Amino acid sequence: MNPSQRQHDIQVAALAESYRQQGYAVTAPPDMESVPFDLNGFRPDLLAEKQGQHLLILANNTQQPISIGRLRELSETIKQQPTPGWRLLLINYSPESVAGGLLQDPISWDNIIQRTGQAKKLREAGEAEAAILLFWSALEALLRRHAESLGFPLEQLSVRALLDYLYSDADLSYEHFDQAKMLLSGRNKVAHGFTLPEASQQANLLQNLIDELSGEWLPMRNVA
């Protein structure tokens, strides 16, 4: 077994244990005969089941991305099945993975709008660093909800991986992609207790980025 495969197996085992601790019955790898539809050769790493939920999970390292087109195709195949409760998730097992990969829902579209408005008030009051943190949480939720509305099983990814996938599918422009990556660096400085002399400027840029993406994406949304 090569080192990359060994690392993958270790991370899959850790992810499986995280789901078991949350009360899921986990099989790794899943017996594909227990899946009530054909995935056309796709083999997930885990099947996690609880209370009518059946999560087909692909544990993926961001160094080895999977085709976004393939993910969308698989998600659509699963959505069209008459058996309820089945869902595909892509989880990268970097240290930035969301909540250890455990299934969670991003805040709703309406709450994104509300949170953005609260951040604007903080910025206008001169609380630029606090505004950055609130703006960023709204931006992440916006990205996750948009991926979900497109049928991409990406909402559990780290924000870096999520940006990469949305950009690779041409759904996120290079300008927005590049700006988000730059603003993430500033957000991390604030979140980890470092000073950010350009906080006011970055708060303005974050507000503009959210406003532009919201203008493009909110009219397309499936209200959650």
Sketch the domain layout of the chain as residue ranges. 3-101, 109-220
Residue 29 and residue 107 in contact, taking contact as beta carbons nearer than 8 Å: no
Strand segments, DSSP code E, in 12-112 are 25-27, 46-50, 53-60, 86-92
Average pLDDT over residues 139-161: 83
| Residue range 92-103, pLDDT digits in tens | 665 445 444 555
Residue 92 and residue 156 in contact, taking contact as beta carbons nearer than 8 Å: no
The CA distance from 145 to 128, in Å, is: 25
Q: Which residue has the tokens 């606090």?
A: 130
| Residue range 27-86, pLDDT digits in tens | 988 888 888 888 888 888 899 999 988 989 888 764 555 677 777 788 888 888 888 888
Q: Between 3.30.1390.10, 3.40.50.12280, 2.40.50.100, 3.40.1350.10, what CATH number should domain 3-101 receive?
A: 3.40.1350.10
The CA distance from 70 to 51, in Å, is: 28
